[in-house]
Amino acid sequence: MADDPHDLDRFVRAQSPCYGRALTEIRAGRKRSHWMWFIFPPLAGLGRSPASRTYAIRSPAEAEAFLRHPVLGPRLTECAGAALAVGDRPVHALFDSPDDRKLRSCATLFALVSPPGSVFHRLLETFFRGEPDPETLRLLGCGGTSGDSTCR
């Protein structure tokens, strides 16, 4: 696909039947159904399931394209903001394991390609004491922090 080299439409198709439900669950403070992989996509290499292979983000360039996408970028930002709005609770109250790890990976990846202070940086601060996901950083070849310029 010349106009969609990352096949981001796979996320739009997956989100189509359940985006409203996912946002409602986040706002209610508890994820109850199955949508984590394509609402908060983590970096490729963290999972082995078919969903993890289909919906993982493969590179910082793909993450940047996801954020620029006219549907996916606003949706990801909206869901991240909704999670922050209930951020007075522990991350495990909102997302069970392993979904909490997926959120951390997603926030780490998207913080890397976003300006300081972004909603993704705030997710890391609020839910993970500001600590990026070390496995995501390792897979990206980073020097230890999500602000490390070698990660791009």
Q: Residue 75: which CATH number? A: 1.25.40.380
Residue 77 CB partners (closer than 8 Å, separation 6+):
67, 119
- Tokens 């996912």 belong to which residue? 22
* Residue 114: closest CA among 89, 80, 86: 80
Domain assignment of residue 115, yes or no: yes
Q: Find the domain containing 26 and state its range.
A: 9-151
Domain assignment of residue 1, yes or no: no
Q: Would you state the pLDDT for residue 149?
A: 43
Number of domains in the chain: 1
Distance CA 71, CA 92 (A): 28
Phi then psi for 57, rounded to 5 degrees?
Answer: -85, 130
Domain assignment of residue 3, yes or no: no
Domain assignment of residue 145, yes or no: yes
Q: How confident is the model at residue 142 (pLDDT cuts 50, 70, 90)?
A: confident
Domain assignment of residue 4, yes or no: no
Q: Does 11 have pLDDT greater than 80?
A: yes
Domain assignment of residue 2, yes or no: no
Domain assignment of residue 105, yes or no: yes
Distance CA 46, CA 67 (A): 20
Percent of the chain with pLDDT over 90: 82
More confident residue, 96 or 84: 84
Q: Would you state the pLDDT for residue 151?
A: 62
Per the rule left: phi > 0, alpha: psi between -120 and 50, beta: everything else, 6 is: alpha
Q: Would you state the pLDDT for residue 123?
A: 98
